[in-house]
Amino acid sequence: MISRQSLLIFAVTMLISGIAAAQERRSNNVVDKIYHPYVLPLEQEFEWRIMSRQNDEGNALVQRVSFGHSIDNRLTLQAYLVGDRDETDEFGLVAYELEARWMLTEQGKYFADWGALFEIEKEHQEDSWEFTTGILVEKEFGRSSVTSNYLMVYKFGNLVDNSFHSEFRLQYRYRFIPEIQPAIELYTAEDFVGLGPSFMGIHRFEAQKQIKWELGFIAGLNGDSKDHTLRASLEFEF
């Protein structure tokens, strides 16, 4: 049943590619959040993410702030404001995003836990769009977790050529203690392969209140040119 459901969603994902294109410099930044398939009932959260990529073309700095709310115990929606630093080092609003994450299976019921991601992004004051969709898979064994994201991205609008590409993200995480969880992450796309360490943790308060943090450094493996990315995030869930 799960395999048929997963194949169906994957096929639909291939067919409904449509919507989005951020600025080319920012859209080439493959390193970002690795999504987990889980949704908590009545979950609400504020999130801040930052990504700094240094390569031969210069330094790209992107930040996101968002608010998310679960619709039920399987579906959550999240809205983002995206900021970017331009060529004159001025930082401002460049895009809006709306994201839906759907938990397809109950945690621990099958060999792996499955979810789906749908995300729409629109450039600020521009007719440029991006639509990202994909499958989220996580397997836990002992204190270890392996999470994979299979993503497809379609870009279109008046200012860009319609294009389609795929991305793959993989994370191995060791749950040493809740507050400190080291990991190794892999990112691949058509013209990029990156690998590096990351650290994350969670501190729980009363009820559902908790803070999550992540910090990772990903080095590009595309030859002799310099290409590395620092990513960080903070989430407050309540």
> Tens digit of pLDDT for each residue in 190-213?
889 999 999 999 999 987 899 999
Q: Which SS3 state, helix, strand or coil, does residue 223 take?
A: coil
Give the Cα separation of 117 and 233 in Å (integer).
Answer: 19
CATH number, domain with residue 161: 2.40.160.40
Q: What is the average per-residue pLDDT within 111-133? A: 96
pTM of the model: 0.84
pLDDT digits (tens, 9 = 90+) for 86-105: 767 778 999 999 999 999 99
pLDDT-based confidence at 7, cuts 50/70/90?
A: very low
pLDDT at 224: 64
pLDDT of residue 225: 73
- Report the alpha-carbon angle 121-145-180, nearest 5: 90
| pLDDT at 136 exceeding the cut of 90 | yes
Name, in order, each residue with C-beta under 8 angstroms of 157's C-beta and a sequence gap of 6 or more.
Answer: 20, 21, 123, 126, 127, 128, 129
**pLDDT band at 27; cut points 50, 70, 90:** very low
Q: Which of the residue ranges 12-21, 40-49, 64-73, 134-143 would you say has the lowest mean pLDDT?
A: 12-21
Q: Are 174 and 201 in contact (CB under 8 A)?
A: no
Which are the contacts of 91, defined by CB distance < 8 A and separation ≥ 6? 61, 63, 83, 84, 85
Domain that holds residue 205: 2-237
Contact 67, 46 (CB under 8 A): yes
Total domains in the fold of the chain: 1
